[in-house]
Amino acid sequence: MITMIVFQNVSFSYENAVPVVENLSFTIREGETVGLIGANGAGKSTIMKLLLGLLQGTGEITVGGLALNKQNLPAIRQKIGFVLQDSDNQMFMPTVYEDMIFGPRNYGLSKEETERRVDAVLNRLGLQDLKHRYNHKISGGEKRMAAIATILAMEPEAIVMDEPSTALDPVNRRTVINTICGLPQTKLIASHDLDMILDTCQRVILLSHGKIVADGETETILRDRELLERNRMELPFCLQGPRNHKGEA
C-alpha cells in the first residue's frame, strides 16, 4: 500500500516552551481515513498546521513522497485540501461558484476544465442548486457542504478536516458524514465528535500532551472507556448505553 502522509520524529514548541508535539511518528496510507482525537491542547491543530507548512518543527514530514520543505510546499499544498472548522473563513468569495473556481483557475486550469470539475463535484454531492447562491444567504450546513465541494474541485490527493461536524443540525451532520464516507481520497479528520469519527474512520490516533498514546482500529479504541477517560475523553454517545434520570450510564 502506498503511503500518503508520513511523520517521522516530529516535534514542535513555541519559543522554547514545553513541546506541543513531541517525537511524533505515524504513517497514513493512500485511501485511508484516520481520525485524530484528543482533549483540548492535545496537539491536533498543531499537527494539521505542521502538515500544511503553516508551522515548522523538527523531524521529517512527507506527503505523497515529497519531503515537506520550502521548495516542495507549493506542490504539497496542491496535494492536500484543507476543510476549515469555520466555513466562513474558507468561503470568501460572493458565491459558491466563485469560490469553487478560485483555486483551480489560480493553479492554471483552463476555464473549460474548471467548469467540468465544478459541475462534476456539485452533481456528485447533489448541490447543483447552490452553484450560483450567495454565500451569505445559505445555511451553515449548506456552507459546510459548499466548503467541501470547493476543496473537491481542486481534486486533491488527501483531505484534512478540522471539526467537520461542528454546529450542524442532525440532518446536515448526517449529510456531511455520508459525504466523507463516499470520498475516495486519503482523509485525516480532527474532531471531538467521536460518534462521527466512529462512523467515518477506520483508524484512530489518540493524542495526549503532544504524544500518541494509542493508534489502531477505531472501534477498539473508542470502546475502551478506561483509555479514553485516562486521556480526558468519554465514550461516544452511541456506546454509552442507556442513562438513568440522573444522567448516569
Residue 165's pLDDT band, with cuts at 50, 70 and 90, is confident
CA nearest to 90, candidates 73, 76, 103? 103
Residue 242's pLDDT band, with cuts at 50, 70 and 90, is low
User: How confident is the model over 17-50, as pLDDT tens digits?
Assistant: 888 999 999 999 999 999 999 999 899 999 999 9
The pLDDT value recorded for residue 245 is 45
Are 197 and 222 contacting, i.e. CB atoms less than 8 angstroms apart? Answer: yes
CA nearest to 24, candidates 49, 7, 4, 48? 7
The pLDDT value recorded for residue 24 is 95
User: How confident is the model over 172-201, as pLDDT tens digits?
Assistant: 888 889 989 999 999 999 999 999 999 999
Of 225 and 126, which is predicted with more confidence? 225
Percent of the chain with pLDDT over 90: 71
User: Looking at the predicted structure, is the pLDDT value of residue 243 above 70?
Assistant: no
Residue 7's pLDDT band, with cuts at 50, 70 and 90, is very high
Lowest mean pLDDT among 65-74, 86-95, 141-150, 238-247: 238-247
User: How confident is the model over 108-129, as pLDDT tens digits?
Assistant: 899 999 999 999 999 988 899 9
Mean pLDDT over all residues of the chain? 91
Q: What is the CA radius of gyration of the chain?
A: 19
